[in-house]
């Protein structure tokens, strides 16, 4: 349990906020047992750098190795459950006029916690698309017959995630940037703020005069610019932050 206290001026800002944007990273799923990118690699994956595996080059060079990594992460994701941090954000959506939830996570846990309209900037690990023609393939996959192939063009199938060097879904990114500029409050939760263009969003907010709250047990690249930094695990800090609104006399 964290001893993080919500400062009075932040509580007042929460109460006055009609439009909120929340950007989440791997840290928000850490308490669900989904390893963060920083400490992603355990066991047989310990010797691989995730940023090396999550690239189109790595997939072309050894598609089976990359698939084995994603199938390992899919199993972790399937067995994971949303934690109180995910649940608090789903609840916040009903306590403010507009909450735009933007995530770098590919685990789908926000939607499983009940959040609606989540902007998945980096895709979703449970979806599969063709590397060549792009169509989605909903079949359950394994590697028994080698790298799975597309039913339409026989191209290689790949997880529907954004790899390093690949563009983000432009619609989601544009909506996230627009929401950041007109928000009353921007929450940056469980992210090291190092991967772009997602890490640029809190600066869009700051440039537009929108205060930024960082929720992270450790300092990040954003900390020096954050308006408030709450140093604790999101699984206990977020319920406390949202409780500020829940306690408001209706």
Interface mask toward ligand BV8 for 59-98; x: CB under 6 A: ----------------------------------------
Give 2-17 as a 3 state SS string.
Answer: CCCCCCHHHHHHHHHC
Stretch that binds Zn ion, among 38-46, 128-136, 193-201, 208-216 (CB under 5 A): 128-136
Whole-angstrom distance, CA of residue 115 vs CA of residue 111: 5
Choice among 73, 74, 110, 122 that is catalytic: 122
Helix 234-246 with 84-92: angle, nearest 10 deg = 30
DSSP alpha helices (H): ranges in 48-116? 50-53, 56-61, 63-79, 84-92, 109-112
Q: Is 157 in the site for Zn ion (CB under 5 A)?
A: no
Minimum distance between the CB of residue 77 and ligand BV8, rounded to whole angstroms? 10
Stretch that binds Zn ion, among 10-18, 88-96, 120-128, 149-157 (CB under 5 A): 149-157
Q: Is 194 in the site for ligand BV8 (CB under 6 A)?
A: yes
Beta strand pairing status for 157-161 and 123-130?
antiparallel
**Sign of the four-CA dihedral 140, 143, 145, 148:** positive
Please list, in sequence order, all residues whose beta carbon lies within 8 angstroms of the beta carbon of residue 248, skipping any fewer than 6 positions away. Answer: 15
Q: Is 166 in the site for ligand BV8 (CB under 6 A)?
A: yes
- Active-site residue list: 122
Task: Name the site residues for Zn ion (rule: CB under 5 A).
Answer: 130, 132-133, 150, 152-153, 155
Binding site for ligand BV8 (CB under 6 A): 25-27, 30-31, 36-38, 51, 54, 104, 106, 122, 161-167, 190-192, 194-196, 198, 216-218, 220, 233-235
């Amino acid at each position: 349990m964290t001893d993080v206290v919500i400062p009075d001026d932040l509580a007042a800002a929460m109460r006055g906020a009609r439009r909120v944007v929340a950007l989440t990273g791997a840290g928000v799923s850490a308490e669900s047992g989904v390893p963060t990118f920083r400490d992603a690699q355990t066991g047989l994956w310990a010797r691989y750098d995730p940023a090396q595996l999550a690239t189109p080059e790595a997939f072309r060079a050894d598609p089976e190795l990359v698939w084995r990594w994603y199938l390992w992460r899919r199993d972790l994701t399937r067995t994971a459950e949303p934690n109180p941090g995910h649940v608090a954000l789903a609840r916040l959506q009903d306590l403010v006029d507009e909450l735009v939830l933007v995530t770098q996570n590919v685990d789908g846990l926000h939607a499983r916690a009940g959040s609606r309209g989540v902007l998945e900037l980096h895709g979703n690990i449970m979806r599969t698309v063709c590397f060549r023609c792009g169509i989605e393939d909903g079949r359950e996959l394994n590697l028994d017959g080698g790298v799975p192939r597309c039913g339409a063009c026989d191209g290689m199938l790949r997880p529907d995630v954004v790899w390093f060097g690949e563009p983000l879904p432009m619609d989601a990114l544009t909506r996230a940037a627009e929401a950041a500029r007109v928000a009353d409050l921007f929450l940056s939760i469980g992210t090291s703020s190092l991967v772009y263009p997602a890490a640029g969003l809190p600066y869009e907010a700051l440039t537009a005069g929108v205060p930024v709250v960082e929720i992270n047990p450790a300092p990040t690249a954003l900390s020096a610019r954050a308006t408030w930094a709450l140093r604790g695990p999101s699984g206990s800090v977020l319920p406390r932050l949202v409780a500020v609104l829940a306690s408001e006399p209706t």
